[in-house]
Amino acid sequence: MNGRQIGDVILDLQNISLRFGGVKALTNISFDVKEHEIRAIIGPNGAGKSSMLNVINGVYHPQEGRIAFHGEERRRMEPHKAAKQGISRTFQNIALFKGMSVLDNIMTGRITKMKANFVEQAFYFGRARREELEHRRKVEQVIDFLEIQHIRKTPVGRLPYGLQKRVELGRALAAEPTMLLLDEPMAGMNVEEKQDMCRFILDVNDQFGTTIVLIEHDMGVVMDISDRVVVLDYGKKIGDGTPDEVRNNEEVIRAYLGVGH
């Protein structure tokens, strides 16, 4: 549990419905996320969790519903605008740039903060050079934080799965986000790696105050580190509250044990 001061609502989702052709991915979902908290989204496979994250950062556009981020309301958001507004994310199947090194991958996370244009960069002096060094410094801080100094020049495609996930987290962190969306950050990790990842997530929330929205299957982790939990099943919300409340929710138990569907 963290002693973070949990603030006001920064993300408010109302009546979100998302369809792909005839398939209803999300039906009438409403919940909110408060500043500085760790909010988990859980649910059986296919419940719509990843779709929910995709809606939040604009990769999918819901047919119905409203989203308000930092009080500003919008229905349609483009991914790169979400990035500019301070939302970063990781993906379920790692979406790193396999052809680039760890350092370069994390540097791409800083791209929204770089102002020099390509001509200045072609001459590599003045503002372009300064920016490059400045951002390198920031990125090295992220690298130190995630303890991946030894692999900074390695092409990402050559790294083992667990390290790739860490690099992806690094790329998301490099943007200094206000809100971090993590899609199964611990999938496929062993116990040690999971502990490390947990520690990083808690540290990020603790040290930088980043709000975290997290999809995770490991119940132990979820109950341990989240402030509040949303439960989805078949695209509908069936639970919303603190871990304890959700743990004792009848419907949630039914969804996971599969009784009488």
Measuring CA to CA, how many Å separate 51 from each of 36, 57, 72, 80, 210? 23, 10, 21, 17, 22
95 forms part of the interface with other proteins (CB under 8 A): yes
The residue within the footprint of other proteins, chosen from 89, 165, 194, 237 (CB under 8 A), is: 89
- Minimum CB separation of residue 231 from other proteins in Å reads 24
Instruction: Look up residue 258 and give its two tokens.
Output: 């599969």
19: left (phi over 0), alpha (psi -120 to 50) or beta: beta
Under 8 Å between Cβ of 73 and 148: no
Q: Which of 49, 165, 166, 171 binds other proteins (CB under 8 A)?
A: 171
Q: Does 23 bind other proteins (CB under 8 A)?
A: no
Is residue 231 a contact partner of residue 204, using CB atoms and an 8 Å limit? no
Does position 118 interact with other proteins (CB under 8 A)? The reply is: yes
The answer to whether the CB of 110 falls within 8 A of the CB of 139 is: yes
Per CB under 8 A, 108 contacts other proteins: yes
Q: Which of 233, 238, 215, 230 is nearest to 53 (CA)?
A: 215
* Count of residues of this chain found to bind other proteins when the rule CB under 8 A is applied: 42
What is the nearest approach in angstroms of other proteins to the Cβ of residue 153? Answer: 9
Write the binding mask 207 to 226 for other proteins: x where contact by CB under 8 A, - elsewhere: --------------------
Angle (nearest 5°) at CA 205 between 158 and 160:
10
Interface pick for other proteins out of 9, 27, 68, 114 (rule CB under 8 A): 114
Which spans of this chain sit near other proteins (rule: CB under 8 A)? 54, 57, 59, 78-80, 82-84, 88-89, 91, 95-100, 104, 107-112, 114, 116, 118, 121-124, 128, 131-133, 136-137, 140, 171-172, 175
